[in-house]
């Protein structure tokens, strides 16, 4: 359950070491050779172009692309290496989508300089042909490794991964999405075939690590944070992967006080993080890697987006 006071207490907290244990941020200044990266991320923004209305609701005045753009610009001015990502459900939720069918959302993301995103179930709400048109409009790759788009307008248009160079860090990014059948009308996703997201993510991450020598691998997931049953989730994915370092999630609109750490199949830490919905928060993960890229240290500071 979202609690503003609790978040104000915890947004500046949350230390995690991807290797093992925890690590004080001050100690990161000690190594002479190191690499730094700031990851900014959103999920489930749901066409929230303007802030939530001032109507007495608990989110009033929060969200909106103007303030988010200002925050991103400020952080880019302060940090030398910044990576901006989204975990899906860009569309649906306000009249902007009903009237303009996704165009303002993608124009805004282009202007903010998003560098990769994955597909959420609501991104099919305008139909797969419209999603193909929006994909052409995007100046960033939309990624998915576990949807087979053969015989659809997205055939050969969606890549499973991208690699982004940030300083000396090679960042491999893979996308995975939730089962669409039963969640999305059949006509909206057409002949899209759902594949096992755990296998798809593992296969792609292995390629990124061992064939492309990526030193940091991020999964943009629209699977959902965690479920009561064995439905595939970010937590289940993390426990069954080998090469993914960070999972940035969506779908369940989960406000997380701090990233969750889950041990993978090699007993190494995987960081899971999600920042609610509606653009209320801009997620921030600051990473410091040792000179040889073998050790990765992370701190978290979510940022409220409000006027």
**pLDDT tens, N- to C-terminus, the chain (307 residues):** 444 444 433 433 344 445 433 333 434 444 556 899 999 999 999 999 999 999 999 999 999 999 999 999 999 999 999 999 999 999 999 999 999 999 999 999 999 999 999 999 999 999 999 999 999 999 999 999 999 999 999 999 999 999 999 999 999 999 999 999 999 999 999 999 999 999 999 999 999 999 999 999 999 999 999 999 999 999 999 999 999 999 999 999 999 988 999 999 999 999 999 999 999 999 999 999 888 887 788 887 889 998 6
Residue span of the structural domain in which 284 resides? 4-23+31-304
- Beta-bridge partner residues of 35: 289
Residue-level pLDDT at 307: 63
Taking CA atoms, 293 is separated from 19, 84, 144, 238, in Å, by: 11, 21, 26, 21
Listed residue (176, 164, 111, 171) closest to 139, CA to CA: 111
Domain count, the chain: 1
pTM comes to: 0.92
Instruction: Kindly report, residue by residue over 152-170, the tens digit of the pLDDT.
Output: 999 999 999 999 999 999 9
Q: What is the DSSP string of the chain?
A: ---HHHHHHHTT--EEESSSS---GGGGGS-SSEEEEEEEEE---TT--SPPPSSS-TTTTB--HHHHHHHHHHHHHH-S-EEEEE-S--S-SSHHHHHHTTHHHHHHHHHHT--EEE--GGGGTT-HHHHHHHHHH-SS-EE-SSEE-TTSTTTTT-BSEEEEEETTEEEEEEEEE---BTTB-HHHHTT-EE--HHHHHHHHHHIIIIIS--SEEEEEEES-S--SSS---HHHHHHT-SS--EEE--SS--B-SS-EEEE-TTS-EEEEE-B-STT-EEEEEEEEEETTS--EEEEE--EE-B-
Residue-level pLDDT at 16: 47
Q: What is the rounded distance in angstroms from the CA atom of residue 153 to the CA atom of residue 49?
A: 27
CATH, residue 290 = 3.60.21.10
């Amino acid at each position: 359950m979202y609690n503003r006071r609790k978040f104000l207490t915890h947004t500046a907290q949350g230390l995690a070491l991807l290797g093992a244990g925890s690590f004080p941020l001050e100690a990161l200044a000690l190594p002479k050779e190191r690499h730094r990266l700031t990851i900014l991320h959103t999920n489930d923004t749901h066409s929230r172009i303007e802030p939530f209305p001032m109507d007495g609701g608990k989110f009033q005045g929060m969200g909106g692309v103007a303030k988010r753009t200002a925050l991103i610009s400020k952080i880019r001015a302060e940090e030398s290496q910044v990576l901006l990502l989204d975990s899906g459900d860009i569309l649906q939720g306000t009249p902007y989508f009903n009237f303009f069918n996704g165009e303002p959302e993608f124009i805004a993301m282009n202007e903010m300089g998003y560098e990769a995103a994955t597909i959420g179930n609501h991104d099919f709400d305008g139909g797969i042909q419209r999603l193909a048109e929006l994909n052409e409009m995007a100046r960033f790759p939309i990624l998915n490794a576990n949807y087979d788009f053969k015989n659809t307008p997205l055939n050969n248009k969606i890549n499973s991964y991208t690699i982004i160079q940030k300083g000396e860090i090679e960042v491999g990014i893979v996308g995975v999405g939730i089962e669409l059948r039963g969640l999305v009308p059949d006509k909206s996703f057409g002949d899209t075939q759902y594949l096992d997201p755990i296998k798809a993510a593992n296969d792609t991450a292995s390629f990124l690590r061992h064939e492309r020598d990526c030193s940091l691998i991020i999964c943009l997931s629209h699977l959902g944070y965690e479920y009561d049953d064995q439905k595939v989730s970010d937590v289940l994915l993390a426990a069954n992967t080998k090469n993914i370092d960070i999972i940035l999630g969506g779908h369940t609109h989960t406000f997380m006080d701090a990233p969750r750490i889950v041990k993978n199949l090699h007993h190494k830490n995987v960081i899971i993080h999600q920042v609610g919905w509606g653009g209320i928060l801009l997620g921030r993960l600051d990473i410091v890697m040792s000179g040889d890229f073998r050790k990765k240290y992370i701190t978290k500071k979510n940022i409220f987006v409000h006027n």
